[in-house]
Amino acid sequence: MGVIAAFLLAGAASTSAHYTEADFARVAKFDAHFHANIEDKRFLALARRDRFEVLSINVDYPDFPPLAQQATIARAMRAVDPVDFRYATTFSMNGFGTPGWTERTIAHLDAAFARGAIAVKVWKNIGMVATDPGGKRVFLDDPRFDGVMAHLEQRNIPLIAHQAEPKNCWLPLDQMTTDNDRAYFKAHPEYYMYLHPEEPSYEALMAARDRFVARHPKLAFDGAHMASLEWSVDELARFFDAYPNTVVDLAARLSNLQVQSNANPAKVRAFFVKYQDRILYGTDLTDSPPDPAARAQNPPATNDFAREADRVWRADWRYLATSHAQRVDAINADAIGLNLPRAVIDKIYWQNAQRFFRLKQRS
């Protein structure tokens, strides 16, 4: 019997311990990585129907609306649905390294917390774009961030950190492992590090991130996008073992996982079971005004974002919670479902986010 056939047979042996596709809308869930760039009541209705709470993350990304507008949208969406919609704030790197930057940033963050923000996001511009007044590249382990991070620790506010990029970013297009990475970096050459060998290496960016985490052991740290270790569950396991204060979200990286689980489903499944307390479900779904000319998005914008979000959520549930296979265009293959136990699914989809973001228990 082949490895995949044995894996599927073992998963089917105890259906009572697993969810089915029919359970999808009955189970409380949390999408810990979403971006609301418009006020969209249709999406809120979908979230309620699909039993999802969402965390909309403000991010200092040139393709997104200005930060103040993102915050206004988030507060408006939360006012409509304070039960299912939450948001994370961020801060600008403008003026970093100048007198008073720390104090101004802390005041900005405190104002956001007072208006409902539950976390802070830092983006890949730290390490890949931002410079100080002297023109020196700024990395996350820069001690000039320490005052802000100490304030977050004191207030028990989590940090969501998108550092570096998937490892595919440093490979030629024809050597990348997923089509979604290929499409994104082809559309965003400014972030495609294979084209910029003068820029910091993947390894250098990961090392700076790790030094930061080690220096702030009391800071609740969420490594966005599988902490940019999406290419290897072995590497991610080592990260978890080294830094017990960390979790990761799965946003926009399931296809990278599916490459690994198709090669060795038992290994990937065992990883999820072992680290079931450290993984948050997230998508990177981005609700923006439809724009046929926009660069690669997650997913591409249409006139019916709610339908797209429902499709993504259900496909991810099929992969994580059931043993069913499904076609995944990003890997040009069928992906075998991991069929994770109910207890593991409950943690990944809700309980871990509840603990990490200090959320109230859902009924």
Which DSSP string do the residues of 76-136 spell out, in sequence order? HHHHH-TTTEEEEEE---TTTTSTTHHHHHHHHHHHHHHTT---EEE-THHHHT-B-TTSP
| Alpha-carbon distances of 322 from 11, 105, 108, 329, rounded to whole Å | 9, 44, 43, 19
Gap between the Cα atoms of 230 and 211, Å rounded: 19
**Residue 298 DSSP code:** S
Local confidence pLDDT in tens for the 363 residues of the chain: 454 554 544 444 445 799 999 999 999 999 999 999 999 999 999 999 999 999 999 999 998 999 999 999 999 999 999 999 999 999 999 999 999 999 999 999 999 999 999 999 999 999 999 999 999 999 999 999 999 999 999 999 999 999 999 999 999 999 999 999 999 999 999 999 999 999 999 999 999 999 999 999 999 999 999 999 999 999 999 999 999 999 999 999 999 999 999 999 999 999 999 999 999 999 999 999 877 777 766 655 567 899 999 999 999 999 999 999 999 999 999 999 999 999 999 999 999 999 999 998 765
Find the Cα–Cα–Cα–Cα dihedral 304, 309, 314, 317, rounded to 10°. 180
Q: What is the CA radius of gyration of the chain?
A: 20
pLDDT of residue 289: 81
> Bridge partners of 286?
35
Residues 6+ positions from 269 with CB-CB distance below 8 Å: 7, 261, 338, 339, 340
User: E strands within 170-292?
Assistant: 221-223, 246-249, 279-280, 285-287
């007072």: which residue's tokens?
114
- Cα-Cα end-to-end distance for the chain: 43
On whether the CB atoms of residues 326 and 315 are closer than 8 A, the answer is yes
On whether the CB atoms of residues 34 and 283 are closer than 8 A, the answer is yes
Structure-token pair, residue 301 = 């914008």
- pTM across the whole model: 0.94
On whether the CB atoms of residues 166 and 231 are closer than 8 A, the answer is yes
DSSP per-residue codes, 127-164: HHT-B-TTSPBP-TT-GGGHHHHHHHHHHT--EEE--S
Q: Tell me the three state secondary structure of residue 323.
A: coil
Gap between the Cα atoms of 246 and 213, Å rounded: 8
Gap between the Cα atoms of 222 and 296, Å rounded: 24
